[in-house]
Structure 1
Amino acid sequence: MELVSLVLKRLFLLLLALLSCPTNTIARGGDLGAHPPPGFMGRGGGLLARRLFEDNYPEITDEMTRGYMSNSELEEAVKKFSKRCANISRIYSIGKSVQGYPLWVIEISDKPGQEEPEPSFKFVGNVHGDEPVGRELLMLLANWLCDNYMTDTLATLIVKHVHLHILPTMNPDGFALRRRGNANNVDLNRDFPDQFYPINDIKHSRQPETRAIMTWVKEGHFTASASLHGGALVANYPWDGSQDTRKQYTASPDDKTFRYMASLYSRSHYNMSLSQEFEGGITNGALWYPIYGGMQDWNYIHGGCFELTLEISDNKWPQANELPIIWDYNRKSMLNLVASLVKTGVHGRIFSSKDGHPLPASVMIKGINYKVNASSTLGDYHRMLTPGESYEVMVSMPGFQQKGTRILLGDESASLDFILDPDEATKNEHTSVKGFGCSCDGKDKLELVEYLRGVHLEIYILVCISLFLCFLLRRKTLCKLLNRRKQITQKRPVVV
């Protein structure tokens, strides 16, 4: 029996491997042979691989690093902040770097660690190891909020109405090694799954720092975010790449909102909006120079998170005595960007009319091909939008009737709650299941869906075992059985 069990397990793993094999499709359109995108190799040998390794960087001297916190000093500063400002903060780690440095995050809120129907914002610094200004500015931001809470209007607004998460360094190894990439010499801002070139979307094949960010975003339900870089002075917004790999303006569905957010940062900055290179101090990523595997596009597509890439200093590694000036130039921009989560957009909660339970429904804006999801526990949603325009807000969830309404968004945010009515089919299912002692409230429905998914997986395994046994008994009929199964599968609705 153990031998049979082992054979069956190996058969199942083999089937999964076959199902996950990559196809010959390179991308959606575009000839990579003619226009290879930055960060990718050509078609040599019939393969297309990510090229994330770069070696030619200017040498960073001891004199340049003097005055910057080392990784151990940064960790000490984070823990010291947590003790000093324990009433409005907590710290936690989202993982470790290749060399084992914890990726510490500071959460700032009047109720840190508690889930509230409030928007969440995250700052990420030091994505590239040789761009350390962000890690210093983010610690200055955290301490400024702590020092000015309840005395400064903007600081109080952020602490009371936003959950702010600060990751001072995403790439501590690169900082210690004084280079762009991490300890494996991988550029972390080319390491995320990409919509235009989905070559390898297997999570475990990515760098530990990248995986940590991906898990963090999936679990965090962030409304918006920004990563801090150096080497230019501009607010960059999606998309970062283009489908045909050319340098051209490539707009996301929320292009107008992204331009508003980028302009808000640029106009609040001391001199970013006066740029001679970038009109208004902002740029579309693909128009500036296309990249693939970038973090901001992935955040928007997979996390429902509106992310900007902020280039905050012309010099990648300026002298430490320049940091106070750079902080002074960027402080108002950073604060205004976080506060915009409360000051603009549409916010609300979604409930079931039958039992009052919160619903993780989807929120859509008519004419914009993008959705944000309400949280599964509180049913709250936060949708960034450009002020001064009219929007038709639509809310939908399987098993409930869709609802919508039109709003005119002024200079302030709009608060809009929805109460969804179950559709007739759901009401019948509710009555039927209730007879077996199931309350079937919003939470139980989600648990029921998860249970059914598990049942389908068990059925799938049993079918695989049956096919294997049929192969041993009647090898000649295997193809017919497979074809028949394929036809049946195509007729079944997918359980979501």
Structure 2
Amino acid sequence: MTELKQLTPHAAIPREQATRTRRQRHLLRTFLPELVSLERTLAEAPEQVRTQVVDRIDVGPQTLPIYRVDLGTDAPDAPAVVLVGGVHGLERIGSQVVMAWMRNLMARLSWDDSLVRLLERVHITLLPILNPGGMYLNQRSNPNGVDLMRNSPITAQDRSAFLLGGQKLSPRLPWYIGEPSTAMEPENRALENVISGLLPGRPFSVALDCHSGFGWQDQIWFPYAYRRRPMRKIASVMALKLIWEQAWPDHDYRFEPQSRHYLTHGDLWDYFYKQINRDNTGTFLPLTLEMGSWRWVRKRPRQLFRLDGLFNPLVPHRHRRVLRSHLAFMDFLVEAAASHRNWLPEGAEESMLREAAIMHWYRDSR
């Protein structure tokens, strides 16, 4: 399926090439175990699971694939759910959470009749490791030094946070937005091709992009990040929040627009939201799961001395807890997408929920 599986047996190739092949395998196992785990999972996937490589990223001697995984109906008018992980290479836990949920689905396909029936009504697309080069290099940015979440052609409408909101100074500094006169980075173009080919024309779609590294609490962020005024579909976000809280009242998520914390240039999901909803009669809601890594650091302060410790749970029992703690929300998104006609607001209800959302999230910025 990828370079790992296409390698010729060592006996059939020159000794120098065989040595290089073994070295590449060792490097992947050492620096990118998530990709090795993903490929093993896909190699054993049921026949209902469709897999393709949407792009390949060169990192030194390595050529690393960006995998796309699809499940569910291929009907073009069915609702869709998109899950993305690994946008920032340091935040490995995002990819691991997506893959944990994917393995859960695959394991249930052979016996869970309710899941099989659900997948007849909804389409699921996963990109577990969008930035394999950055993850291999153990850095936030992609191999070109560009922060993929600051790389879309959108400019903040007000003062953004210094450096954090995106900077043009140098790829050697974090949060580099890339060269404004060039196209988006190849990882983002690959994601854009997936989004633009999958979502237009659907009555409802939702995306969840899994990150870590901000705050004491797990948060669900939604657009906008480039302005403080509410998005046009804000009533739908409020409706989604309400049905989640009614079904899971003891949840630990905090729903907020990202602009409540800081403004950024080039937010990827702001860009996709505007692109898809501009000419689409349906509804597309992009969400970001921001796992609160400060809690992991507080419980184990010596993680401060490790770069990966700032963004990932390093203690095994905490790691396992994180992997299982988000499965319910991901399952909920699939169920909500399949049943969107039962809760998506219209008419007077939409106006009421929009006003409630503005009072709840934006009254300080009116």
TM-score (norm 1): 0.49
- Counterpart amino acid of residue 332 in structure 1: A
* Alpha carbons 1:97, 1:173 under 8 Å: kept: yes
What is the aligned counterpart of 1:108 among 62, 71, 77?
71
Say whether residues 1:186 and 2:146 are aligned partners: yes
Who is 1:317 aligned against? Answer: 312
- The alpha carbon displacement at 1:75 in A equals 3.5
Say whether residues 1:342 and 2:338 are aligned partners: yes
* Alpha carbons 2:84, 2:129 under 8 Å: kept: yes
Tell me the C-alpha RMSD between the 2 structures. Answer: 3.2
* Alpha carbons 1:193, 1:200 under 8 Å: kept: no
Who is 2:196 aligned against? Answer: 218
Identical-residue share of aligned pairs (%): 19
- The alpha carbon displacement at 1:145 in A equals 0.7
- The alpha carbon displacement at 1:196 in A equals 4.9
User: Aligned with 1:147: secondary structure?
Assistant: helix
User: Aligned with 1:176: secondary structure?
Assistant: helix
What is the aligned counterpart of 1:295 among 265, 268, 279?
268
Who is 1:228 aligned against? Answer: 210
- Counterpart amino acid of residue 207 in structure 2: S
- Counterpart amino acid of residue 105 in structure 1: R
Cα distance in 2 for partners of 1:283, 1:117 equals 29
Say whether residues 1:127 and 2:84 are aligned partners: no
- Counterpart amino acid of residue 385 in structure 1: L
Cα distance in 2 for partners of 1:203, 1:219 equals 25
Who is 2:136 aligned against? Answer: 176
Superimposed CA distance per residue, residues 203-260 of structure 1 (whole angstroms, 9 cap, x where no aligned partner): 9532111111122211122622110000231000111121xxxxxx420001121233
User: Where do residues 325-404 of structure 1 align in structure 2 (5 Å cutoff)?
Assistant: 325-345=321-341, 385-386=344-345, 390=349
* Alpha carbons 2:32, 2:136 under 8 Å: kept: no
Cα distance in 2 for partners of 1:176, 1:301 equals 31
Who is 1:45 aligned against? Answer: none
- The alpha carbon displacement at 1:183 in A equals 1.1
Cα distance in 2 for partners of 1:160, 1:71 equals 38
Cα distance in 1 for partners of 2:273, 2:321 equals 31
Cα distance in 2 for partners of 1:170, 1:203 equals 23
Who is 1:284 aligned against? Answer: 257
* Alpha carbons 1:268, 1:333 under 8 Å: kept: no
- The alpha carbon displacement at 1:313 in A equals 3.8
Higher relative contact order (CA 8 A, sep 6+): 2
Cα distance in 2 for partners of 1:331, 1:161 equals 20
**1:313 and 1:161, CA in 2 relative to 1: closer, same or farther beyond 3 A?**
farther
Bigger radius of gyration among the two: 1
Cα distance in 1 for partners of 2:180, 2:47 equals 40
Who is 2:24 aligned against? Answer: none
- The alpha carbon displacement at 1:268 in A equals 4.2
Cα distance in 1 for partners of 2:29, 2:335 equals 28
Cα distance in 2 for partners of 1:184, 1:334 equals 32
Cα distance in 1 for partners of 2:249, 2:191 equals 27
- Counterpart amino acid of residue 273 in structure 2: Y
Who is 1:33 aligned against? Answer: none
- Structure 1: which 5+ runs fail to align? 1-67, 243-248, 274-280, 347-383, 393-496
Say whether residues 1:96 and 2:56 are aligned partners: yes
* Alpha carbons 1:265, 1:334 under 8 Å: kept: no
Superimposed CA distance per residue, residues 113-140 of structure 1 (whole angstroms, 9 cap, x where no aligned partner): x445312211110111111111111111
**1:212 and 1:332, CA in 2 relative to 1: closer, same or farther beyond 3 A?**
same
**1:142 and 1:158, CA in 2 relative to 1: closer, same or farther beyond 3 A?**
farther
Cα distance in 2 for partners of 1:153, 1:86 equals 15
Superimposed CA distance per residue, residues 435-472 of structure 1 (whole angstroms, 9 cap, x where no aligned partner): xxxxxxxxxxxxxxxxxxxxxxxxxxxxxxxxxxxxxx
* Alpha carbons 2:196, 2:276 under 8 Å: kept: yes
- The alpha carbon displacement at 1:339 in A equals 1.7
TM-score (norm 2): 0.65
- The alpha carbon displacement at 1:270 in A equals 6.2
User: Aligned with 2:264: secondary structure?
Assistant: coil
